[in-house]
């Protein structure tokens, strides 16, 4: 059995781990590392679609492997597209971009194994497709000329000419499934978005444990503990463990976020704004509870409403419905900014939004800035970095507050963003924001406890900028992985 790591080494995220055993090859995640990506690209200098796979391989963003990349791109970019499929499956741990972000580049026929929740979130990316490389569940063949409808001449095939589905397979937690010679047991773990999975992979040399990202201080910490128990029983030969917060000694809980936010908002006379990760539905539930216990309603974006709907469609329970009486869906001004205006026909207002965004327009619980501005103390409003200009329309009154419930900036880019956030908050008397956050990642002692309990023969620390901290573990052989270097077990 061989393990080769192509991402997530000495870095947070971008996991791409190749496991080869007895003729079966699988990837554990196929993520994008933000920092590496931002070393070369920005919003204003995005990758070139026409040459992206070649460019990405050259820049070290994608592994230089044959038979794994989508054939439409390979053909167009002069890469060998006739090769047999070299990978039998990809196990996705969860739908954060640093774990799923480069799935877009994979061949359509590679089976992508995910939990139902992960599929729902991947579908959300596919549907919204903001950055252009997010065909995670669907597949739009590119660089093809097709006959025009009129029958004469050719035209460039685009998204309107139909799409195909990717081979996305959903598993049930706790139920084993097979990929070639491998047997896989997917286990639910607690993290900062729904559907996170830890894997136990039974190979010819023994079990391999892959933690994905996880924590032991969330609302469902028991899921992570159950995973640890099952992983220990498998008496693994190898464990790939995340170590995002390996240097931190403790962790704030999700309950802490809820009780602190509830207390903080209590008695405030203005609008309560909350910045939390847009796909973190646990945090959405936390702020929903916070709002309700303060007699307020939670105002979310239509993307969050779509996510709640997709999760419900995939059988996820325990979250409020997007139509819940305590939820409002906010329509921000877009394009011509006609929302709430009566001097334009209704159909013109809709035209400000993309087709999928219009889905919610006719709902009773839709709200605009004017209504929020008029009754500020009735609402807790979701507001992240990209929404800040809505403050202009909402105009928070005195006694309004802003809660920051996201991680602290950990790169220069994020610090610049933070400066911009501070400027907006200062302008509306919301500075300094109140920090109330619980991380999606376990702290050092919890990670050490987990590893000691699971007791693998060999440990690969990944998804961390501090791999050397793992040295403190005694009795476990630690391999500090190198990019693209095969380790034979
Ligand atoms: Zn991650
Ligand atoms: Zn994550």
Q: What CATH number does residue 162 fall under?
A: 3.60.15.10
pLDDT value of residue 411:
81
* DSSP letter assigned to residue 192: S
Q: Which residues of the chain have pLDDT under 70?
A: 130-131
- Residue 11 corresponds to which tokens in the numbers above? 């870095």
Provide the CATH number for the domain around residue 364.
Answer: 3.40.50.10710
Type and span of the H or E element at 71: helix 71-76
Q: What span, in angstroms and rounded, lies between the C-alpha atoms of 167 and 371?
A: 44
**Centroid of ligand 1 to alpha carbon of 364 (angstroms):** 37
**Centroid of ligand 1 to alpha carbon of 99 (angstroms):** 6
**Centroid of ligand 2 to alpha carbon of 335 (angstroms):** 33
Same structural domain, 237 and 187: yes
Same structural domain, 321 and 234: no
**Centroid of ligand 2 to alpha carbon of 372 (angstroms):** 32
Q: What span, in angstroms and rounded, lies between the C-alpha atoms of 4 and 16?
A: 9
pLDDT value of residue 130:
67
Quick check: 489 and 18 in contact, CB under 8 A?
no
Same structural domain, 208 and 274: no
Same structural domain, 260 and 387: yes
Q: What span, in angstroms and rounded, lies between the C-alpha atoms of 200 and 247?
A: 26
pLDDT value of residue 277:
94
Q: Which ligand is nearest to the CA of 195?
A: 2
**Centroid of ligand 2 to alpha carbon of 164 (angstroms):** 28
**Centroid of ligand 1 to alpha carbon of 13 (angstroms):** 5
- Residue 395 corresponds to which tokens in the numbers above? 């105009």
**Centroid of ligand 2 to alpha carbon of 470 (angstroms):** 20
**Centroid of ligand 2 to alpha carbon of 93 (angstroms):** 8
Same structural domain, 259 and 235: no
Same structural domain, 351 and 217: no
Same structural domain, 153 and 271: no
Place of tokens 């097709």: 146
**Centroid of ligand 1 to alpha carbon of 194 (angstroms):** 13
**Centroid of ligand 2 to alpha carbon of 311 (angstroms):** 18
Angle between helices 254-265 and 281-293 (to 10 degrees): 30
**Centroid of ligand 2 to alpha carbon of 55 (angstroms):** 26
Strand partners, 380: 272, 298
C-alpha 360: how far from chain center: 23
pLDDT digits (tens, 9 = 90+) for 30-79: 999 999 999 999 888 999 999 999 999 999 999 999 999 999 999 999 99
pLDDT value of residue 333:
94
Q: Which ligand is nearest to the CA of 8?
A: 1
**Centroid of ligand 1 to alpha carbon of 97 (angstroms):** 8
pLDDT digits (tens, 9 = 90+) for 124-161: 998 887 668 999 999 999 999 999 988 889 999 988 88
**Centroid of ligand 2 to alpha carbon of 213 (angstroms):** 5
* DSSP letter assigned to residue 267: T
Same structural domain, 412 and 446: no
**Centroid of ligand 1 to alpha carbon of 29 (angstroms):** 10
**Centroid of ligand 2 to alpha carbon of 228 (angstroms):** 18
Same structural domain, 316 and 373: yes
Same structural domain, 260 and 381: yes
Q: Which ligand is nearest to the CA of 277?
A: 2
Q: Which ligand is nearest to the CA of 279?
A: 2
Q: Which ligand is nearest to the CA of 192?
A: 2
Q: Which ligand is nearest to the CA of 244?
A: 1
Quick check: 157 and 148 in contact, CB under 8 A?
no
**Exposed / middle / buried, residue 142 (Cβ in 10 Å: 0-12, 13-18, 19+):** middle
Nearest to 457 by CA among 244, 183, 206: 206
With residues binned 3-state (H G I as helix, E B as strand, rest as coil), the percentages for the chain, rounded to 5, are 30, 20, 45
Pick the last residue of a domain from 398, 413, 435: 435
Instruction: Return the sign of the alpha-carbon dihedral for residues 360, 361, 365, 371.
Output: positive
**Centroid of ligand 2 to alpha carbon of 440 (angstroms):** 7
Q: What span, in angstroms and rounded, lies between the C-alpha atoms of 470 and 240?
A: 12
**Centroid of ligand 1 to alpha carbon of 75 (angstroms):** 32
pLDDT value of residue 57:
97
**Centroid of ligand 1 to alpha carbon of 215 (angstroms):** 12
C-alpha 48: how far from chain center: 23
Same structural domain, 213 and 299: no
**Centroid of ligand 2 to alpha carbon of 121 (angstroms):** 13
Same structural domain, 202 and 114: yes
Q: What span, in angstroms and rounded, lies between the C-alpha atoms of 23 and 30?
A: 20
**Centroid of ligand 2 to alpha carbon of 445 (angstroms):** 19
**Centroid of ligand 1 to alpha carbon of 192 (angstroms):** 10
Q: Which ligand is nearest to the CA of 215?
A: 2
User: What residue numbers bound the domain in which 382 lies?
Assistant: 254-435
**Centroid of ligand 2 to alpha carbon of 123 (angstroms):** 17
**Centroid of ligand 1 to alpha carbon of 407 (angstroms):** 13
How many structural domains are present in the chain? 2
Q: Which ligand is nearest to the CA of 98?
A: 1
- CA angle at residue 29 from 109 to 446, to 5 degrees? 155
């Amino acid at each position: 059995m061989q393990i080769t790591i192509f991402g997530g080494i000495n870095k947070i995220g971008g996991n791409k781990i190749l496991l080869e055993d007895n003729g079966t090859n699988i990837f554990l995640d196929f993520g994008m590392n933000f920092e590496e990506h931002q070393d070369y690209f920005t919003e204003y200098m995005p990758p070139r679609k026409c040459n992206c796979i070649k460019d990405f391989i050259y820049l070290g963003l994608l592994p230089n492997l044959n038979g794994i990349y989508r054939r439409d791109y390979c053909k167009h970019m002069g890469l060998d597209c006739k090769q047999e499929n070299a990978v039998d499956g990809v196990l996705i741990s969860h739908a954060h971009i640093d774990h799923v972000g480069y799935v877009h580049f994979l061949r359509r026929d590679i089976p992508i194994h995910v939990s139902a929740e992960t599929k729902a979130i991947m579908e959300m990316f596919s549907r919204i497709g903001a950055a252009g490389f997010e065909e995670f569940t669907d597949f739009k063949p590119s660089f093809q000329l097709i006959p025009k409808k009129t029958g004469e001449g050719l035209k460039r095939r685009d998204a309107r000419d139909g799409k195909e589905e990717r081979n996305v397979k959903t598993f049930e937690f706790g139920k084993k499934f097979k990929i070639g010679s491998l047997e896989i047991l997917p286990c639910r773990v607690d993290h900062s978005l729904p559907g996170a999975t830890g894997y136990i992979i039974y190979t010819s040399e023994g079990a391999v444990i892959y933690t994905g990202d996880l924590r032991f201080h969330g609302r469902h910490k028991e899921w992570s503990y159950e995973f640890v128990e099952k992983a220990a029983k498998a008496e693994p030969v190898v464990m790939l463990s995340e170590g995002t917060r390996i240097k931190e000694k403790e962790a704030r809980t999700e309950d802490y976020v809820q009780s602190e936010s509830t207390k903080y908002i209590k008695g405030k006379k203005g609008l309560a704004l909350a910045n939390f990760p847009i796909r973190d539905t646990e945090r959405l539930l936390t702020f929903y509870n916070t709002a309700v216990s303060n007699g307020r309603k939670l105002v979310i974006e239509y993307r969050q409403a779509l996510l709640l709907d997709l999760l419900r469609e995939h059988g996820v329970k325990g979250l409020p419905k997007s139509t819940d009486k305590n939820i409002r869906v906010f329509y921000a001004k877009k394009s011509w900014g006609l929302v709430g205006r009566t001097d334009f026909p209704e159909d013109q207002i809709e035209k400000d939004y993309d087709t999928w965004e219009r889905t919610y327009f006719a709902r009773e619980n839709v709200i605009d800035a004017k209504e929020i501005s008029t009754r500020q103390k009735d609402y807790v409003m979701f507001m992240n970095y990209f929404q800040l200009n809505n403050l202009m329309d909402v105009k928070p009154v005195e006694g309004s507050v802003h809660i920051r419930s996201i991680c602290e900036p950990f790169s220069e880019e994020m610090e610049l963003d933070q400066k911009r956030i501070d400027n907006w908050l200062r302008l509306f008397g919301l500075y300094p924001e109140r920090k109330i956050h619980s991380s999606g990642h376990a702290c050092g002692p919890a990670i050490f406890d987990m590893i000691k309990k699971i007791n693998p023969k060999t440990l690969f620390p990944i998804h961390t900028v501090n791999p050397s901290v793992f040295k403190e573990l005694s009795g476990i052989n630690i391999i500090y992985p190198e990019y693209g270097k095969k380790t034979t077990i």
